Chains A and B, each alone.
Chain A
Amino acid sequence: MLSIKNLKKQYGTHLILDVTQLTFADGLYWVKGANGSGKSTLLKIIGGLIPFEGKVSIDGIDLRQQTTAYRRLVNYAEAEPLYPPYLTGRDLISFIATTRQANNEQVNELMEAFHIGAYIQSPIGTYSSGMVKKLSLVVAFVGQPKYILLDEPLVTIDKESVPILYQLVRAFSNKGVNFIFTSHQAFQLDGISVKEMEVKDQRVWEL
């Protein structure tokens, strides 16, 4: 279970998030909110990418105290991913797979699923934004995470890739992986319940 306590995040004097207590039990969560409400900030905090005040933990493993152990449990895909343009997609995936101790078979399956094999040996700088987005989605599924955080996963990717993403979410969800995603579009995951939340007025509300 993902637990957040006394979370505060502000930029200068502008308070973005002020959450006293929030828990994400196992399952899929769709976090909604207006532009600038703090959805991405919330995901970045859970992903351990930005500093914050408060406590975030998964099954008692604290993000601050057991930082490496915590990071083994969470994969995160940014809304607008940015990777070193001189690396090839293969370099990046290999590096990340090594850090997450993922096997080649899984990596190859994921690359095949998103059809990125054709350009995986080219430098990322030559990719279109959609190709980078697909790469980031592949990266998000690599390893054995407990939570996968997807920030606006449906933005930029072509319509052929959307059902592939749904299929992967369904398959990983069946294996017990939990998802938190932000999106302005509804996720169409037939047969799987998605809990909805909204970030509004610096707080996170269950809908």
Chain B
Amino acid sequence: MGIVVSVLNKVLVKKFYERNVGLLFFVFYLMFGVVESNQLITYHRSLIYGVLSSPIFLLGVMAVWILYSAKYLQLVLSELSEPHNQFLKDYSRLSRQQQFGPMLFSVFMMDQPVLIYSGFIVGVGIISQQYWPTLAVILFHLIKIIASTRIILHRIHTTHERKTTKLLQAIQWPWKKYFPFFYVGYFTNHIPLALLFTKAFSLFAIIGFLQITTDHYDNRTALMGLLFGLMAHSVIVFESRRLEETYLTFARGLPISTVKRLGYLCLFYGLLLLPELVLLVINKLVWYDVVLIGIFAISYLLHQHTRLYRQPFNIDQHTTYTFGLFLVSFMLVLFKVFWLEALALSVLGFYVYQRDYYNFEASA
């Protein structure tokens, strides 16, 4: 079975790390580079104690781990549908047991960054005798790895690749010929898992931050949660641009003005962010804050989208920039000047779109 493991590692594991090396280095830096070396152990021990002692914190961390799993699952599933990887269909000729082991190993390898840190959490949990949360962490990873393996094997076994997402595919958009719905349709039909995970994480982040109690009305808690959600949406932004460069190249030649095209994009992102805005309304944010936050969120995604007309079409660079933008935005939110950022990003997005939409060529 050595050759099977080796091929899976080359086709899936290696590819995953190659694609995400920038992101992983960035997260590594955030976790270990920003703290002074003599405080590193104390810092992480406190962080782990926090995770083990607070169920909400633990749930938040688990959500991030799920997001990480979604990232490698998304890559693996899309790689499996690539024409050059169709030979992997032969993998289903092995017996069930023979299939499960090597694939489990591949998932295990892709999950290493999370598992290594979780190992420390388990260690600290056992030493500090916090057995229940420790057990929860172990069970969570076991279930997650087995489920991920099963999802991948299921894809290899089925020729009809989107069996698991019938619900979203079944949504028949009544205005399908309306341009913004071309984008929505791409996510509900093509990569529904990415959409589901992004929306779940985004809503979860907002709900989490809204739990923070303040002695007076403060829109910043909602905004901080939203910022985490917007960071997760960077996948959607990248995929939207990928859609434009694959299936929507024909639209470039149509007589639609750039202002109108930009309007369509705003409408698409507005539709996409509707659940978050509804959540804010339900949580009794004042209406003008909801409107302002909506404009901020749309301009934030629009800026990321238009930026991809200027830069090489590269997910690593996009992710790194996304983190940078998140950090800057977080500071601006703390200093209550997010409206200034919304204005700047809108103007910049409009300018870049006008200038670069027709000047971009993915293959160049």
Residues of A in contact with B (beta carbons under 8 Å apart): 11-12, 47-51, 64, 67-69, 71-72, 74-76, 78, 81-88, 91-92, 94-96, 98-100, 139
Q: A75 to B250, alpha carbons, bound, how many Å?
A: 10
Which of B177, B188, B364 contacts A11, CB < 8 Å?
A: B364
Q: Which residue of B lies closest to A90 (CB)?
A: B177
Chain B residue nearest to A145 in the complex (CB): B255
Q: Which residues of B contact A86 (CB under 8 A)?
A: 185-186, 188-190
Query: Which label, helix, strand, loop or mixed, suits the secondary structure of the B interface?
Result: loop
Tell me the count of chain B residues lying within 8 A, CB to CB, of chain A: 29
Q: Which of B267-275, B285-293, B297-305, B354-362 contacts A (4 or more CB under 8 A)?
A: B354-362
Verify B249–A82 contact, CB threshold 8 A.
yes
Q: How far is the CB of B35 from chain A (nearest CB, A)?
A: 43
Are A48 and B177 in contact, with the CB atoms below 8 A? Answer: no
Alpha-carbon distance A69/B363, docked complex (angstroms):
26
Chain B residues with CB under 8 A of A94:
177
Residues of A within 8 A of B250 (CB): 76, 78, 81-83, 96, 139
Indicate if the CB atoms of B253 and A100 lie closer than 8 Å.
no
Establish whether residues A49 and B177, one from each chain, have CB atoms under 8 Å apart when the complex forms: no
The answer to whether B252 has its CB under 8 Å from any CB of chain A is: yes
Residues from chain A with a CB closer than 8 A to the CB of B95 are: none
Question: A122 to nearest B CB, angstroms?
Answer: 13
Write the chain B residue with the least CB distance to A10: B364
Task: Scan residues 341-364 of chain B and give those whose CB is less than 8 A from a CB of chain A.
Answer: 358-361, 363-364
Contact A100 B247 (CB under 8 A): no
- Judging by beta carbons under 8 Å apart, are B358 and A48 in contact? yes
Chain B positions within 8 Å of A, measured between CB atoms, are 176-179, 182, 185-186, 188-190, 243, 246-250, 252-258, 358-361, 363-364
Contact A99 B247 (CB under 8 A): no
Given contacts A49-B253, A51-B359, contact A91 B176 (CB under 8 A): yes
How many Cβ-Cβ contacts under 8 Å join chain A to chain B? Answer: 79
CB atoms of A51 and B360 under 8 A apart: yes
A98 touches which of B177, B182, B188, B243 (Cβ 8 Å):
B177
Partner of B254, one of A51, A71, A83, A87: A71
Q: Which of B178, B247, B359 has the most CB atoms of chain A within a 10 A radius of its CB? A: B247
Rounded to whole angstroms, the CA-CA distance of A98 and B185 in the bound complex is 19
Known interface pairs A84-B182, A84-B186, A86-B186; A68-B247 also in contact (CB < 8 Å): no
Sampled A-B contacts (19; CB under 8 Å): A49-B253, A51-B364, A67-B258, A68-B256, A68-B257, A69-B255, A71-B255, A72-B255, A76-B253, A82-B247, A82-B250, A84-B182, A84-B247, A85-B189, A85-B247, A86-B189, A88-B176, A95-B178, A99-B255
In-complex Cβ contact of B248 among A50, A72, A84 (8 A): A84
With A48-B358, A95-B179 as given contacts, are A100 and B254 in contact (CB-CB < 8 Å)?
yes
Q: CA of A69 to CA of B257 in the docked complex: distance in angstroms?
A: 9
Please indicate the chain B residues that have their CB under 8 angstroms from the CB of A68 in the complex: 255-257
Asked if A87 contacts B182 (CB within 8 A), the reply is: yes
Residues of chain A with a CB closer than 8 A to B177's CB: 87, 91-92, 94-95, 98
Q: How far apart are the CA atoms of A64 and B248 in the complex, in Å?
A: 20
Check A48 against B253 for contact (C-beta < 8 Å).
Answer: yes
Contact partners of B179 in chain A: CB under 8 A:
95
Residues of B within 8 A of A96 (CB): 250, 254
Q: Which residues of B contact A82 (CB under 8 A)?
A: 246-247, 249-250
Q: Which residues of B contact A84 (CB under 8 A)?
A: 182, 185-186, 243, 247-248
Asked if residues B364 and A48 are in contact (CB atoms below 8 Å), the reply is no
Partner of A50, one of B243, B246, B255, B361: B361
Q: Give A11 to B361 CA distance when docked, in angstroms.
A: 10
B363: which A residues are within 8 A, CB to CB? Answer: 11
